[in-house]
Structure 1
Amino acid sequence: MEKGNATATINIAETSSERKGKAPLLAAPMEHAKGGYKRGIAIFDFVLRLSALVAALTATITMGTTDQTLPFFTQFFQFQASYDDLPAFEYFVITNPIVRGYLVLSIPFSIVCIVRRPHAVGPRLLLIILDTVMVALTTAVASAAAAIVYLAHNGNPSANWLAICQQFTDFCQKVSGAVVASFITVVMFLFLVVLSAIALRRN
């Protein structure tokens, strides 16, 4: 009887130890997969910030260098179109450097989120708040410029505003390209907000 009890006790102890030994083996791949997922989000965030910086820089340079003069018979009588003739385009050129400056300053925080991904809740929360502000600002700037570009292409017969893009073709092409680049920046900011929200939820 004593031998039988001893044997049963040993078997139970071995079974429980086997279960304890298997639990960490199953948990380790799950932790590794979760860490890799977070790292992937952080790296994609960094790439998107660089891409948004390039798009905002392209929009600013394109709009800021837009200038066209129509040739006429005398140099004293000329028609000229420049971005600083329209307040919406001036607002565009002034505001986009603010967006670029923010993107440059946010890149170190994005790197911190890559390096310290398990403990990057604070930087990630700060980024999602400021990214949301930049979405609103960039959308407002791009929308105002897009309204002027629409008038330049189509005019407004009710207000007797004539379309000028048939004459100032280069001017309209450049400002249209700048507006498109600005809206690309808006889309990238939206992706950044979504990525930050996903990363915070995973934490």
Structure 2
Amino acid sequence: MAIFKPQPSQTASISACCSLLPSIAMASVETGAPTQATTETQTRWSSKLTRLVSGTAGAVAVKNHEKADVTLRLFLFVFSFIAVVVMVTSKQTAAIRVSPDMVIGVDAKFTHLASFTYFVAAFSVIGLYSMITGYLSYSSMKKQERNSINQQLHFVLLDSLILSISASATGAAGGVAYEALKGNPHVRWMKICHIFDTFCHHLASSGAMSLLTSVTLLMLVWFSVCAIVKNSGR
């Protein structure tokens, strides 16, 4: 029976291979780190997808919507309240010379023009509406109950109605305020803002608050529509 005896060159090759084994093992350990990181990333994205499909992410989105709804209705109340207060306190008395020897005091206040009276009435209603709907939305959020589709639909309809009232009141008051600032020589309406400067400053500030009120109502309509779409998809 012949016994195999390795040649010196074969012995050297075997020794070289044995010396490379530790480096190969270390390389395999090092290449395992990116593979583990990739696995963790896949697991994380899978969990996110699972939460999205199961409705957990949707519940968080609806909860955030309710917080945004309450916040916007609070802003709506603040803007409408400031608009009413600034308009009501716009009264100013100015001295006007009617003859070389006579100077009389003339008042300028919002009750002298129907558009400004309508502005105050409209934004008073908007302030009351924001208080009622804000309370309903806040109660729903505190009870940790999702707003029903019917409630959100009512919010959309009512917010749209209030938005139209806000826009009409802003346009009516803004048109008269522009005539007070620039005048209209075609119908012989004189500009009065150079005389009643404080009154006109109040008109401008109240108009700015009314524009913010309209923007807030528009955002509320958009948020309610999004909530209806999310709730109807479940």
TM-score, length of structure 1 as denominator length: 0.82
Q: Match for residue 90 of structure 1?
A: 117
Deviation at 1:112, TM superposition (A): 4.5
User: Higher helix fraction: Structure 1 or Structure 2?
Assistant: 1
Deviation at 1:202, TM superposition (A): 0.7
Give the Cα–Cα distance (whole angstroms) in 2 for the partners of residues 55 and 26 of structure 1.
39
SS in 2 for 1:129: helix
Between structure 1 and structure 2, the one with the greater Rg is: 2
Q: Match for residue 218 of structure 2?
A: 190
Q: Match for residue 101 of structure 1?
A: 128
The one-letter code of the counterpart of 2:165 is L
- 1:148–1:77 CA distance, 2 compared to 1 (3 A): same
The structure 1 residue matched to 2:145, chosen from 110, 116, 134, is 116
Deviation at 1:96, TM superposition (A): 1.3
Q: Match for residue 133 of structure 1?
A: 161
Q: Which gives a bigger RCO, structure 1 or 2 (Cα 8 Å, sep 6+)? A: 1
- Size of the aligned set, in residue pairs, is 179
Give the Cα–Cα distance (whole angstroms) in 1 for the partners of residues 201 and 224 of structure 2.
35
Give the Cα–Cα distance (whole angstroms) in 2 for the partners of residues 76 and 116 of structure 1.
66
Question: After TM superposition, which residue ranges in structure 1, 4 or more long, deviate above 2 angstroms?
Answer: 24-28, 71-76, 111-115
Query: Equivalences for 1:19-34 in 2 at 5 Å?
Result: 28-30=50-52, 31-34=55-58
Deviation at 1:109, TM superposition (A): 2.3
Deviations 1:146-202 (A, max 9, x none): 001100110111111111001111000001111110111011000000000000001
Q: In 2, are the aligned partners of 1:113 and 1:123 still within 8 Å (CA)?
A: no
RMSD: 2.1
Deviations 1:81-119 (A, max 9, x none): 1111111111111221111111111012212543212x5
Aligned-pair identity in percent equals: 25
1:69 to 2:93 alignment: yes
Name structure 1 gaps, 5 residues minimum.
1-23
Q: In 2, are the aligned partners of 1:55 and 1:182 still within 8 Å (CA)?
A: yes
Name structure 2 gaps, 5 residues minimum.
1-45
TM-score, length of structure 2 as denominator length: 0.71
Deviations 1:116-162 (A, max 9, x none): 12x52121111111001000011111110000110011011111111
Q: In 1, are the aligned partners of 2:95 and 2:104 still within 8 Å (CA)?
A: no
